Amino acid sequence: MRFKAICEAVYGNSPATIYRQVEALKLLLPALGVPRYITRQDLIDVLAKLPKWARKEGTKAIRKLLKALGREDLVRGLKIPAYGARKWRLPSDGDLARFYEALDRDDAKLAFRLLAETGLRKSEVLKARIGDIDWEHMALIPNRATATKKSGIGFFTADTARMLKEHIDKLADKEPKAPIFPYKSDTWLRKAFKRAEAKTGVHVAPQMLRVRFSDKLGEVDVPDRYVDILQGRAPTSVLARHYTPSGLKKLRAKWAKAEELLRIA
């Protein structure tokens, strides 16, 4: 499909993003009656009738598609719907520790620790390569910037560093370009989380650990601008300044203020 190629080559979207937008287009295009001639008002009327998720993803998708077809005039000024931030009910530290102990795979425990300690996105952790690890600063720097998202800079504890080294020692491919978690999808982690939830009654999603990370840094008064750098929300020019040894040392010092709060086990 041409739309998928546009998403991959022009926008650098992840498979999950492409999937959501394709699904939204499947609702949007038939409702528009494509391939008939459509007007801007037709587009607005149909988008208004879609469910929230499809309206948001459909707006993003149709903007890309019409721009590629040379009909940007139909979507110029069309805003992507913004909805309120999701309110997470974060498990207590004790519940998270029970959940962690219930995980029945060592690689799932490692992924859990990296998500909790680095504050990185799930995709950044699961798609990270061995060469993305800076052992001197105990940092994971996935550098997976796309047209819509910038990469963060994550730090981890000495205990997690030991687990990470043991994990890598067991991998068949240890080259810098080799993935730390050599799996085609995140199904293995989702299933491990589901099994741990069934044992403990504690629900945990990777995004919760990212939210918890920013909360813990806030508890020790780390300024928001540093949290944004760590979690990949700062401008690219600002992030670039912190990829240097001195920048990483400064960032780790900020992160270290919350190190004990971030520990799970």
Is CATH 3.40.640.10 correct for 93-262?
no
Spatial contact of 123 and 140, defined as CB atoms under 8 Å apart: no
CA-only gyration radius of the chain, Å: 21
Whole-angstrom distance, CA of residue 81 vs CA of residue 61: 13
Q: Determine if residue 133 is left, alpha or beta; phi over 0 gives left, psi from -120 to 50 gives alpha, anything else beta.
A: beta
Report the amino acid identity of residue 71.
R
Q: How many residues does the chain have?
A: 265
Q: What is the pLDDT of residue 81?
A: 72
Q: What is the pLDDT of residue 1?
A: 64
Q: Spell out, as residue ranges, where the chain has pLDDT lower than 70.
A: 1, 82-88, 144-149
Per domain, the residue ranges of the chain are 2-74, 93-262
Instruction: Please give the structure tokens belonging to residue 230.
Output: 């760590």
Q: What is the pLDDT of residue 235?
A: 77
Q: What is the pLDDT of residue 83?
A: 59
Q: Model pTM?
A: 0.70
Spatial contact of 100 and 109, defined as CB atoms under 8 Å apart: yes
Q: What pairs with residue 134 in β-bridges?
A: 139
SS (H, E, C) the chain: CHHHHHHHHHHCCCHHHHHHHHHHHHHHHHHHCCCCCCCHHHHHHHHHHCCHHHHHHHHHHHHHHHHHCCCHHHCCCCCCCCCCCCCCCCCCHHHHHHHHHHCCCHHHHHHHHHHHHHCCCHHHHHCCEHHHEECCCCEECCCCCCCCCCCCCEECCHHHHHHHHHHHHCCCCCCCCCECCCCCCCHHHHHHHHHHHHHHCCCCCHHHHHHHHHHHHHHCCCCHHHHHHHCCCCCHHHHHHCCCHHHHHHHHHHHHCCHHHHCCC
